[in-house]
Chains A and B, each alone.
Chain A
Amino acid sequence: MALQRHLVRAILFCGLLTALTLVEIRATTVSRASSMPSYAGCYRRLYSTPIGNTEVVALGSSRVMFAFDPAIFVSQMTEVSGRSLAARNLAHPSAFPSFDFYLLEELTRQQQPNIVLFELNLDSARNIGIEDTVDPSDHVSDLVLPVGNFPPMFFAGLPLSAVANEMQDATDHVVLKLHYILKSVFISIEYVFNAIVTGRLGKVFEADADIDERRSDMCRMKIMDDLELQAAKHDREAEKVASIRRLALDEMSGRQWLPSADTQPNFLTPQSDPRVRKTALKFVSLSRERGMFPIFLNLPMIYSRPPSAEQIADIEKSLNAVVLSPSADEVWLKEEYFIDHTHLTQAGRKLFMKWLVQRLKPYLSANR
């Protein structure tokens, strides 16, 4: 009996010690990860920073993250209309539409922007994002960080965007909810273990002059530029960046056009997640409800034919909202302005922003 009591005490003591250690690790990780130049960290940083009086917000995946530069937007808008508008990019790599919808819900609890740009990915199921080709060891995940009002939901890196998406749709079903919570916890565990094994966890704790606000700011919008910057310093990195780019381009080149835009007048391809349409409609109704002007933004890939004006008109009709989509002959829809087949370079971003500002101008005036 005495032995059992000792055993219970020992277990309780070890448990308490472990809990304290975990709390300490988490606190340190949260504080360090928020300023780390991490792919996912960018999103978290944007999310955790107070929004302020933002008037235009862009939501979407890494394509929007690379394409929409608030600084360029503000300067060009001032140039074109003489008005300065605060803009924010809340796009996140691998973000699914319903994750964006969740973000919008969060955002509108704090304030009400005038215009919300929502990425409408016509090839969502076909998109081979650069996030799949980037070596995860380059990035320190936000380890086990709670996201907003998802108390049981942990954000431990890119894959959880998908889990969050699924979970969002399963809120009414207890068993599914449990499944997604467990799945996300499992993924978090795997990430922490991988971080330990690959030595990435050490990066969070080691003193590193590079990990500061400046780098974090650079990271916010210029992840690939940052990589290219590193590439100039390190040959190995240069090779890596080159191979990422080559891989993505090789993947797509040789194909004339992706078939979806030709065969599918609607924006859902047979391979697409059927929930995208539902989320898009939810997005429109939420925007209208909160007095915001919803605009869908289609960012085509190179080697993929943008939808025709008729197709866009059909989509606009079905969603009852404006859809901005470039025509095939846009100057920035060229390989030289893309990092890979789908993400714009800094030069491409500038051209794209010019295009976007021109198209947004009438809506901004109208919505004022």
Chain B
Amino acid sequence: MIAPTAVLIFLIFVFLPIYWSIPCRYHSLRLATLAFLSTVFLLALNPLIVYLTFSFMMIIGAVVTPFLLGWISAHTLRNLSWLCFVPIVGIEFVNNQTIASWFFPPDVSDFPAFYSLAFLGLSYSAIRSFIIVREVVSRGPIAPAEIVAALLFFPSFVAGPLVGTKPYAVEAMADSLDLSSLARGFSRIGWGIAVFLVLKPDMSNFDLSTIASGTTLAWLSVYRRFLCLYMDFTGYTELAIGTALLFGIRLPENFRYPLTAKSIQDFWQRWHLSLGAFISTYLFKPLVRDLGRPRAAIFMAFAFIGLWHSFTWNYLIWGVAHGGALALCMTAKRYYDEISTTRLVDSVATVGSWFATLSFVAVMSAFATAPDLASGLEMLKTLVGLGS
């Protein structure tokens, strides 16, 4: 966890009474309280995060204001919304120290430890900003307090769910804290903490070399890494959704039992749903409309998402592989549906498909997070028994 649980609980307990003591008619004041709490939290982690998040606000302001003044069309604003990804491209190509030196004195920016957590959640902020700009295109002006709260809300800052301003709109937020939200909020925070502090450490600390060696050990390590990633993600999401509930905000679910996915298509309908929704709405569908070729569209959308994760060969290959697998799956499904099979064949195919899906996503996830391309390829070689 990036922040100690104690701090999270403390902040929630300090700010909850303040937040709920503000009458619901002062919606903006409530959002300002949330933004302030989030700023406190992010500032304690690393001040650079706050500066970078404010840079996204400035981009939103810069592209949305001409549209609201009638100077540019909706079509132009849609195109300009892609500028929200400029900061994440920037940090890939501009030296971290240079970025920090724009805001801080050299004594601080020269110190390597300063960069821990400095670029946390930046790619998520990019997507959030993009969604907000597109919401302006479809819904018209949005209250600045909603935009600021949506960009800064600390529980979902690091790992989503990826949403725009909709959950922060006056009609979407609860007027008062009811017992059911309180209970659900605490139970989800509790489960999130349990996943982080009990399940994940237990799993990651287990010494796999006592039960396997060689290629088997490599495979087990890959599955374990993926399970840990899932626990990390789902733990954060539980905390985010639970904390949001305590503040009367309903964030969408982000996972729907992804480990039961029977195909790569099914997997993306269960894993990181908010990212899936972004891919589908803003990448896949427009590309299908423009190109008229769904397979090419899905391929390109995932290549983009790979680079969105990080500008590395590993992530590009991860995106291309997922896009390729999805395109292949679309074709295979069409042919499979055409042939008649027995129930037994169906069952075997389902189990095989489930295993192949999980193995594929686990291997690709381990490959993407490998330190570099060479280590990723070495890992793949080990998995097929050709490791050095």
Interface residues of A (CB under 8 A from B): 7-8, 11, 166, 169-170, 172-173, 175-176, 178-179, 182-183, 185-186, 189-190, 192-194, 273-275, 278
Known pairs A179-B46, A190-B4, A190-B7; A173 contacts B111 (CB<8 A): no
Q: Decide yes or no whether B339 CB sits under 8 A from chain A.
A: no
For A8, A175, A186, A192, the residue with the greatest tally of chain B CB atoms inside 10 Å of its CB is A186
Q: With a CB–CB cut-off of 8 A, which chain B residues contact A175?
A: 43, 47, 50-51, 103
Residue of B nearest to A184 (CB): B44
Docked-complex contact B21 and A176, CB < 8 angstroms? no
**What are 23 of the A-B contact pairs (CB < 8 Å)?**
A166-B108, A170-B105, A172-B105, A173-B105, A175-B47, A176-B47, A176-B108, A178-B47, A179-B44, A179-B46, A182-B40, A182-B43, A182-B44, A183-B44, A186-B7, A189-B4, A192-B6, A193-B9, A273-B111, A274-B107, A274-B110, A275-B111, A278-B107
Q: Is B282 an interface residue (CB 8 A)?
A: no
Interface of chain A, main secondary structure: helix
Q: How far is the CB of A7 from chain B (nearest CB, A)?
A: 7
Q: Does any Cβ of A come within 8 Å of B82's Cβ? A: no
Identify which of residues 1-38 in chain B touch chain A, using a CB-to-CB cut-off of 8 Å: 3-4, 6-7, 9-10, 17, 21
Q: Considering only CB atoms, which chain B residue lies closest to A172 in the complex?
A: B105
Q: Contact at A170–B108, with CB atoms within 8 Å?
A: yes
In the assembled complex, the Cα of A274 lies from the Cα of B110 at a distance in Å of 7
Known: A7-B21, A170-B108, A274-B110. A179 touches B6 (CB 8 A): no
Residue contact A178 to B17, C-beta cutoff 8 Å:
no
Q: Which of B43, B47, B110 gathers most chain A CB within 10 Å?
A: B47
Query: Contacts A7-B21, A176-B104: A186 and B4 contacting too (C-beta < 8 A)?
Result: yes
CB distance from B10 to the nearest CB of A (A): 5
Complex Cα gap A169–B110 (Å): 12
The residue on B at minimum CB distance from A169 is B107
* A residues in contact with B7, CB < 8 Å: 186, 189-190
The smallest beta-carbon distance between A311 and chain B, in angstroms, is 24
> Which residue, of B40, B46, B104, B107, has the highest number of chain A Cβ atoms within 10 A?
B107
Which B residues touch A190, using CB under 8 A? 4, 6-7
- In the bound complex, residues from chain A placing their C-beta under 8 Å from that of B47 are 175-176, 178-179
Per the bound structure, the CA–CA distance linking A278 and B105 in Å amounts to 14
* Residues of chain B contacted by A274 (CB below 8 angstroms): 107, 110-111
B46 touches A8 (CB 8 A): no
* Given A189-B7, A193-B6; A169-B44 close (CB under 8 Å): no
Among A179, A192, A273, chain B packs the most CB atoms within 10 A around the CB of A179
Cα distance, A179 to B113, chains bound together (Å):
14
Residues of A within 8 A of B3 (CB): 186
Contacts of A11 in B (CB 8 A): 17, 21
The complex places the Cα of A186 from the Cα of B6 at a distance, in Å, of: 9
Q: Which residues of B contact A278 (CB under 8 A)?
A: 107
List 6 additional contacts besides A166-B108, A189-B7, A274-B111; criterion CB under 8 Å. A173-B108, A176-B47, A176-B104, A179-B43, A190-B6, A274-B110
Chain A residues within 8 Å of B17, by CB: 11
Closest Cβ–Cβ distance, residue B109 to chain A (whole Å): 10
Q: B21 touching A275 by the CB < 8 A rule?
A: no
**Residues of chain A within 8 A of B108, CB atoms compared:** 166, 169-170, 173, 176
Report A112 CB to chain B, min CB distance, Å. Answer: 28
Query: A274-B111, A275-B107 are known contacts. Are A178 and B43 too (CB-CB below 8 A)?
Result: yes
Cα(A7)–Cα(B21), bound, Å: 9
What's the Cα separation between A176 and B106 when bound, in Å? Answer: 13
Task: Known contacts A8-B21, A11-B17, A274-B111; decide if A194 and B43 are in contact (CB<8 Å).
Answer: no
Report the minimum CB–CB distance from A183 to chain B (whole Å).
5
Identity of the chain A residue whose Cβ is nearest the Cβ of B50 in the assembled complex: A175
Q: Known contacts A169-B108, A173-B105, A179-B47; is A194 also within 8 Å of B6 by CB?
A: yes
The docked-state distance in angstroms from the alpha carbon of A193 to that of B7 is: 9
* A174 nearest CB neighbor, chain B only: B47
A298 to chain B, nearest CB (A): 23
Q: How far is the CB of B209 from the nearest CB of chain A, in Å?
A: 21
| Min distance, Cβ B305 to any Cβ of chain A, angstroms | 32
A186 to B4, alpha carbons, bound, how many Å? 8
- Contact check: which of A172, A173, A186, A193 meets B44 at CB < 8 Å? A186
A193 to B4, CA, bound (A): 10
* Inter-chain contacts of A273 with B (CB < 8 A): 111
Among residues of B, the one whose C-beta sits closest to the C-beta of A196 is: B6
Give Cα distance in the complex from A175 to B50, angstroms.
10
Distance of B5 from chain A, by nearest CB (Å): 8
In the complex, the answer to whether B6 meets A189 with C-beta atoms within 8 Å is yes
What is the distance, in angstroms, from B106's C-beta to the closest C-beta of chain A? 9
Chain B proximity of A209: nearest CB distance (Å): 32
Given the known interface contacts A173-B105, A183-B44, the answer about A189 and B110 at a Cβ–Cβ threshold of 8 Å is no
The residue of chain A having its C-beta at the shortest distance from the C-beta of B103 within the complex is: A175
Interface members, chain B 190-245 (any A CB < 8 Å):
none
Chain A residue with minimal CB distance to B3?
A: A186
Q: How far is it, in angstroms, between the C-alpha of A166 and the C-alpha of B111 when the chains are bound?
A: 10
Provide the bound-state CA to CA distance between A268 and B370, in Å.
32
Q: How far is the CB of A152 from chain B (nearest CB, A)?
A: 13
Set of chain A residues within 8 Å of B111, measured between Cβ atoms: 166, 273-275
Residues of B within 8 Å of A194, CB to CB, are 6
Separation of A223 and B103 alpha carbons in the complex (Å): 43
Pairs of residues from A and B, 7 with the lowest C-beta to C-beta distance, nearest first? A193-B6, A182-B44, A179-B47, A190-B4, A186-B7, A190-B6, A175-B47
Inter-subunit contact B40/A189 (CB<8 Å) = no
Cα of A66 to Cα of B277 in the assembled complex, Å: 60
Q: Report chain B residues within 8 Å CB of A192.
A: 6
List of A residues within 8 angstroms of B9 by Cβ: 193
Docked pose: A170 CA to B111 CA in angstroms? 12
A197 to chain B, nearest CB (A): 9
Chain B residues with Cβ under 8 A from A176's Cβ?
Answer: 47, 104, 108
Give B233 Cβ to nearest chain A Cβ, in Å.
Answer: 24
A141–B21 CA distance with the chains assembled, in angstroms: 35
CA distance A175 to B44 in the complex (A): 10
Complex contacts, A166 vs chain B, CB 8 Å: 108, 111
Q: Mark B50-93, 1 if CB is under 8 A from A, else 0.
A: 11000000000000000000000000000000000000000000
Query: In the assembled complex, which residues on chain B have CB atoms less than 8 Å from the CB atom of A193?
Result: 4, 6, 9-10
- Tell me how far the C-beta of A207 lies from the nearest C-beta in chain B, rounded to whole angstroms: 28
Q: Looking across the interface, which residue of chain A has its beta carbon closest to that of B20?
A: A7
In the bound assembly, the distance between CA atoms of A178 and B47 in angstroms comes to: 9
How far is A162 from B66 in the complex, measured between Cα atoms in Å? 47
Which single residue of chain B is at the shortest CB-CB distance from A197? B6
A11 vs B19: C-alpha distance in the bound complex, in angstroms? 12
